[in-house]
Amino acid sequence: MKTCHFKKIILFSILLGLSQVSWGADCTQTLSPGANVASAVSSAAAGSTICLNNGDFGNVNLAGINKSNYVTVQSVSGRGATISPQIGNSKFLRFTNLTISGANINACSSNIQLTSSTFTQGAFVSDRGFNCTYPLNITIDGSTFSNLSGAGYEGRISVVDDDGHQPSLGVIISNNEIKDGCKSDGVFLAGGASGVQIGPGNVFNNIVQSGAIHCDNIQVYGSGWNNSIIGNHFKTGSSFLMLVDSFDNGLIKNNIFDGTGDGAGVKLQIAQTSNTTIEHNTLKNAGMSINLNSTATIKNNAFINSSYNPNAQGSIPGCSNCATSYNLSTSAITGTNNIQGTPTLVDGASPTTWAGWQLTSGSLGYRNSSDGNDRGINYYGSGAVSLPSVSPLAAPSNLRVN
């Protein structure tokens, strides 16, 4: 039987766009390509830092390494060291300021951080078939995933668990740049992957359908629950959200969905969801479809040239149980306390930055949502953002932001 430990918190992130986090620790030891990194990590004292000189260290198998505090592996210079960590049944390992040629995390590994790195192959987190104690506290942060094939499954970042509603994995995917190409989805959750937090601070950009491979910015396939998509910027993409199976008890909040670069259309497809909250998002040229008798609360959003119709589409049942209120839309929308019209944004009709999506003080929707904030997004890439129930990260030492 799997056990789950939940902690109710409000996590505050101080973000500077896609600023990279550098842990800035002194090197306990320095290795060159050809050295046995696995042996060095295994024998390292908790809290130590292993620095890697420029070059390719290849696959590094890290199994059964359990520390009481983080052992950090980082490049001596920039992201000049290349490594492919294969992590199984290990605890408190951090990989930062690296070029990562693929990463696998499985077998109940916990307190694992992949940060401030360039991925040339994707990251695969799998708890399928394992009986673990949750949450795992796995973080993928501040990194770049450009034009990559899928890792394990269909995503550049793939997270999978056993089928059915599972305990919270405690995986946080934040502040990453996930962009370009159509070899794979951006983030892919499969099976019963639950308690995964996508955001804040991720930018999904230019993942545009081409050829036979269907590429979504985020796809959820299977029966997970308590997942959240919060504080992300989606731009120029054919399909922003493909939530084709269960997104039960989910949260979609404080996201920008800007489909301008790839033309208008339905870019958020949500099916078979129950008790999901969709609030304080701004959608421009990005229609949203919810169907299959879902239940959802849809409030305080801004729909700019973006359709939303909860009614039946052809033979597909509509969202007959959706509660829609306090939305701002450029066209008619069902529900209560809605406003029809075009908002005025700080950067005009076509913002290119997070901050440019703020409403001006004279705009429709300014500070008159159901909670007294602006309708549409209230998160702009920095400052405090309220998040759902997750476990906090252990505080790093010598943290600096570049």
With H, G, I as helix, E, B as strand and everything else as coil, classify residue 38: helix
Query: Could you read off the pLDDT of 60-107 as tens digits, one per residue?
Result: 999 999 999 999 999 999 999 999 999 999 999 999 999 999 999 999
**Residue 189 near residue 221, CB atoms below 8 Å:** yes
Run of H or E residues at 43: helix 37-43
The token pair that represents 262 in the structure block: 């790839």
CB-based contact 220:194 (threshold 8 Å): no
- pTM score, two decimals? 0.89
Distance CA(101)–CA(84), nearest Å, equals: 5
Among 100, 211, 201, 94, which Cα is nearest to 151's?
100
CA distance 311 to 34: 61
117-392 folds as: Pectate Lyase C-like (2.160.20)
- Taking only the tens place, the pLDDT of each residue in 137-154 is 999 999 999 999 999 999
What sign has the CA pseudo-torsion 76, 52, 138, 121? positive
Helices vs. strands in the chain: H and E counts, helices first: 1, 36
Instruction: For residue 41, give the 3-state DSSP assignment.
Output: helix
Instruction: Write the burial class of residue 267 (CB in 10 Å: 0-12 exposed, 13-18 middle, 19+ buried).
Output: buried
With beta carbons less than 8 A apart as the criterion, state whether 389 and 9 touch.
yes
* Nearest Cα to Cα of residue 232 among 254, 247, 205, 265: 254
Residue 52: the pLDDT is 98
pLDDT tens by residue, 326-383: 999 999 888 899 999 999 999 999 998 999 999 999 999 999 999 999 999 999 987 6
Task: Bin 226: left if φ > 0, else alpha if -120 < ψ < 50, else beta.
Answer: left
Pairing of strands 321-325, 339-340: unpaired
Domain positions in the chain are 26-99, 117-392
What pLDDT, on the 0 to 100 scale, is given for residue 15?
35
Q: Residue 356: how many CB atoms within 10 A of its CB? A: 14
Q: Please, what is the average pLDDT of the chain?
A: 87
Of all residues in the chain, what percent carry a pLDDT higher than 90?
A: 67
Place of tokens 């999978």: 160
- Going by pLDDT thresholds of 50, 70 and 90, the confidence category of residue 129 is confident
Relative to beta strand 400-401, strand 21-22 is antiparallel
Residues in contact with 68: Cβ distance below 8 Å, sequence separation at least 6, in sequence order: 46, 92
191-225 residue pLDDT tens? 889 999 999 999 999 999 887 888 999 999 888 88
- Burial (CB count <10 Å: 0-12, 13-18, 19+), residue 372: exposed
pLDDT at 383: 62
